[in-house]
Structure 1
């Protein structure tokens, strides 16, 4: 239960309980050796989409940067998404989460195109954009553009 950072922490906890080691052992793509504990993700902000992604982003204090662990095994078993859970967020958190969502939508639209290689998904967690992802990215940008200020105010 919580925002993207809390959900990513839950993914990491399930990973370490299931497979041991240190988080650094799993930085990058496809380094999670198998399924992790089932996760029920309940987002209380609307920014990262962590409840439905195969990625956990964490801060690495030794490197002083954020790093990702990417694996299909990190996708939550269930995502319980109730927009009413975001209503109690203070306006500043709503603005930050909205800006995060907008950044993700822009990132999705400006990503490199998906290659024609049939094995691409076996080598990379994220495989590039397509006409379908462009449609949803532009829709998200449009919806956020017209709604973010109103969400911040109320």
Structure 2
């Protein structure tokens, strides 16, 4: 767990993910603050524009149940771990959580695409949670692509990684 919590400090590793809680064992990083992004799960409970409606939170443990970690998804020997495991002692020792390992490059790439979709989706929802009538979510038209070419920005790292 310590290794996972400290991945963002390693400049050679690109981290990307969604966590159900902003507190606890996993740090949440806003875009551009590290060499990756981990966004909080945000259900739509406030500032919900029409035609959408507020969502029920589901309570703890009811929202993100299947978890997955992908290592070297675009390498010759990718590793994908998926299942109900929280990678924590309680679940492993008391709850009979499960964790499956896959090494098929095609499966790892499919999960990597799904990870990007989920992070983008929940990042938008987290931004929406902090919007208001005086500060609505706005699409920027000015230089939106510059971060994808700034070597200090994780979006640039993402672009290069996915182009391989």
TM-score normalised according to structure 2 size: 0.26
Q: Which structure has greater helix proportion?
A: 1
Larger Cα Rg: Structure 1 or Structure 2?
Answer: 2
When the two structures are superposed, what TM-score results if normalisation uses the length of structure 1? 0.28
